[in-house]
Amino acid sequence: MNSDSSSDSMPLSRSIHTNTLSTRSEVDLKIIENRLRTYSNWPLEFITPEQLAQAGFYYLNIADQVKCAFCNGIIGQWEVNDQPLQEHRKFFPDCPIVRQQELQQEEIGIQSVRTPKSPEFSTLESRTRSFNTWNSTIQDPSLLAQAGFFYLGTGDEVRCFYCDGGLRNWLQNDDPWFEHTRWFPKCPHVMLVKGSNYIKRVIQRSTENGGNQSGNQSMPATPTITVDDAMNAQAALDALAMGLNAGRVRAVVQRRLNLTGRMFNDTETLVSAVLDGQIEDEGFDSSEADDQRVTNQVTQLLLSAVSSVGLNSDETERATSSSSIISPAVPEMSVMTEVGEEPRQPSDERRLKNVECKICMAEEVGVVFLPCGHLLSCVMCAPAMVTCPLCRQYIRGRVRTFLS
């Protein structure tokens, strides 16, 4: 959209930035109650004064133009489905109130939705296809794709679909997630999949090791077997038989081979390494476990999300046509039949269906969409979603979620 230097009218543009103060007291208008009082003649119905005031705007009494009390930015020509805070962030990203609200959301685990730099590679499948001409044996293209990278077709250069960060000259001991996080710690894809605790640990390790690749101070040993052979070893087969995630097991085995050149000697050691890695990735940091305030806030946001798991078609129709809050479903509830009969449990197939991603039908759900609160996408499919697949509401935020 174009910008205009005139504040009297706005025929061609939606936003302008001015340092000229109005006759109103800018100090007083930094109080939300005072901003709300300016909307007595607000002409639009699809955007409420409360939304605009919350985003820092007060009404200029000119058409539908509003002005920020903090950065003096002016926006007008509002359209249906516009969100005041998102529009504020789009045109005036350095505004103090925008940054403040972003930090508050990040603090409780809410990630604002921003358009990926390369939306055509938003899905894992599309990124994986980009590696069809990948000739390097140094890095596994499937791991690069999971970390958000797609192949540019030249050498070993890859680029993140979300933050547009590019990397090349890969080494054998490079961990794609670690390198992505080290060089581009503010990437929304990294923040969604790995979380803030992982990002903090990567930055700390990089600082401690003077920026060495993947935090390793020495070059890795040459693997004695391939990762495919290692996955057929008894320790790996036992771990998979226990129900551990195959992707996590493979990543841990790959890391072990890169560091030592050898497979785990026993099942117990492998299982412990997988579980330790899962705890780290999911951010169960003991130093932050007592932050009850954050826990309570996130819990309130997710209360309605669990209701989207396990709904039948009738319940889904009622959920999407009603604005009332749905009570959380209890997936493990026993069902009584006749008097004296044993209660029967839901089938394993139904339980698995309740927690699988409704987009790829393969991975476990792990992202709650806001504001609708539906939990039906895995972390790899979520970035490609603009609207919720269930209720079709526009997605304004995402929360990483872990099922127990």
Do 187 and 137 sit in the same domain of this protein? yes
- Of the residues 215, 246, 261, the one at which a domain ends: 215
Query: The domain containing residue 244 runs over which residues?
Result: 227-275
Residue 29: which residues within 8 A CB-CB, separation 6 or more? Answer: 35, 38, 58, 69
CA distances from 329 to 295, 304, 315, 322, 332 (A): 21, 10, 11, 17, 9
Which candidate, 87, 291, 68, places its Cα nearest to that of 196? 291
Do 71 and 144 sit in the same domain of this protein? no
Domain for residue 333, yes or no?
no
**CATH number, domain containing residue 390:** 3.30.40.10
**CATH number, domain containing residue 102:** 1.10.1170.10
Domain for residue 163, yes or no?
yes
Q: What is the DSSP letter of 44?
A: -
What pLDDT digit, counting tens, does each position of 10-61 carry?
433 555 655 444 445 545 898 999 999 999 999 999 999 999 999 999 999 9
Q: What is the DSSP letter of 95?
A: -
Question: Rounded to 5 degrees, what are φ and ψ at 241?
Answer: -65, -25
> What does the DSSP assignment read for 113-163?
----SSGGG-SHHHHHHGGGG---SSS-HHHHHHTTEEE-SSTT-EEETTT
Q: What is the mean pLDDT of residues 204-229?
A: 60
Do 258 and 231 sit in the same domain of this protein? yes
Number of structural domains the chain divides into: 4
What is the pLDDT, as a whole number, of residue 170? Answer: 94
**CATH number, domain containing residue 248:** 1.10.8.10
What pLDDT digit, counting tens, does each position of 316-332 carry?
443 333 333 333 343 44
Do 29 and 100 sit in the same domain of this protein? yes
Domain for residue 10, yes or no?
no
Domain for residue 1, yes or no?
no
Which pTM value belongs to this model? 0.49
Do 134 and 201 sit in the same domain of this protein? yes
